A = this chain, B = another copy of it.
Amino acid sequence: MRSETAQSISRGHAPEDPSAAENGTPAFAGNGNPVIFRRLSPPQAVSPRMSEASIDVVGIGNAIVDVIAHADEAFLEKEALVKGTMALIDAERAEALYRLMGPAIEASGGSAGNTMAGLASLGGSGAYIGKVRDDLLGGVFRHDLTAQGVRFATPAATAGPGTARCLILVTGDGQRTLNTYLGACVGLGPDDIDPELIAAAQVTYLEGYLFDPPLAQQAFAKAAAIAHAAGRRVALSLSDPFCVERHRAAFGGLVDGHVDILFANEAEICALYQTEDFAAAAATVRGRVAIAALTRSAEGSLVLTAGEEHPVTAAPVARIVDTTGAGDLYAAGFLHGLTRGLPLPTCGRIGSLCAAEIISHVGARPETALSRLAAEAGLA
């Protein structure tokens, strides 16, 4: 696969062509301005193999619009929902659950989509690959990402299921419980992976949720192969403990052979190595990837390499309103620091800062310019 993709890198339009960001943009959706690859400052002290990248991070994920409502614990229990996790649901269940939910707001989401929005808000240059339908929600998703400055050129599906939505129930403790109808995401396949785009990015970031739709695994493998052939790094988020259960063997193989940077929370890393002991799971993953960033909610995070261990404290939050996107935004901050060549503890602190912003309000996309927050915290 590597030789095939290495060939195809030389074909097609240059990834720097801003008009490419307009491809496949449906009505009432596009951003009329050319997408600008913003950069707060020139890259500093990055490793030589990453020095020629024109994009910091390309994220690949399920393109989803969130439908967010408050709910009480009794509702979760009655509907047999496991708090803090993600369940896949079909269209019928989505309709039924929506009927039962309280008043909601709609906001673009998707794990890697949130991460790329966060990265752009920090001033990083990002691109996104994901599949929407050419419907109203697909237009909303595309608008929100491109308006944030993220390049998003994957064509919308013109037939088949509608744009994916995630019904999110936020309980009084700020925890979120996700119910995802994958919709058009099932159409994402290897043909949607733009080799030039992958080769042009310092980091290709893959969300673990992408293992759920059938063809996306092939897209996943193709992207990782292209990235490595171009001398780039591959990052993976484990996404959800149930997702890890569904794909443990595949994830284990990826981590051992294809992933340079791994993001996981306690439940996910423990699920991967089938242990309830976080320290044991952390010891197991150490050295299997170049960098493991393990998040621990209020206890902050632990950044591990073969030779280093950096505990990072959580950033203070006045009131936790909605934890949706906390992991996604931690990854955004961490990757932003990494692609700027900042030390690993600083990467973790930027991650904590971004996570703190996102959990202080409803929704998983930043409401404040994260670049300003980072500058105020002396982390820019």
A residues with CB within 8 A of B:
27-28, 30-33, 69-70, 94-96, 98-108, 117, 135-137, 140, 143-145, 147-148, 361-363, 365, 367
Contact = CB atoms under 8 A, between A and B. Distances in A.
B108 A107 contact: no
25 contacts: A28-B94, A28-B95, A30-B99, A31-B99, A32-B99, A32-B100, A69-B147, A98-B143, A101-B143, A101-B147, A103-B108, A103-B143, A103-B147, A103-B148, A104-B143, A105-B105, A105-B106, A105-B107, A105-B363, A106-B106, A106-B107, A106-B140, A135-B136, A136-B136, A136-B137
A28 B98 contact: yes
A interface SS class = mixed
Contacts of A362: 361-362, 367
Contact of A144 (B104, B144, B365): B104
A28 B135 CA distance: 15
Given A137-B136, A361-B361, A27 B95 contact: yes
Copies in the complex: 2
Contacts of A140: 104, 106
Contacts of A102: 147-148
A33 B100 CA distance: 8
A362 B32 CA distance: 25
B365 A103 contact: yes
A31 B21 CA distance: 39
Q: Considering residues A32, A70, A104, A135, which has the most beta carbons from chain B within 10 angstroms of its beta carbon? A: A104
Contacts of A96: 32
Given A70-B367, A105-B105, 18 more contacts: A27-B95, A28-B98, A31-B99, A32-B96, A98-B143, A101-B143, A102-B148, A103-B117, A103-B143, A103-B144, A103-B147, A103-B148, A104-B144, A105-B363, A106-B106, A136-B136, A361-B362, A362-B367
Contacts of A98: 28, 143
A100 B96 CA distance: 35
A117 B363 CA distance: 21
A147 B96 CA distance: 13
A78 to B, nearest CB: 13
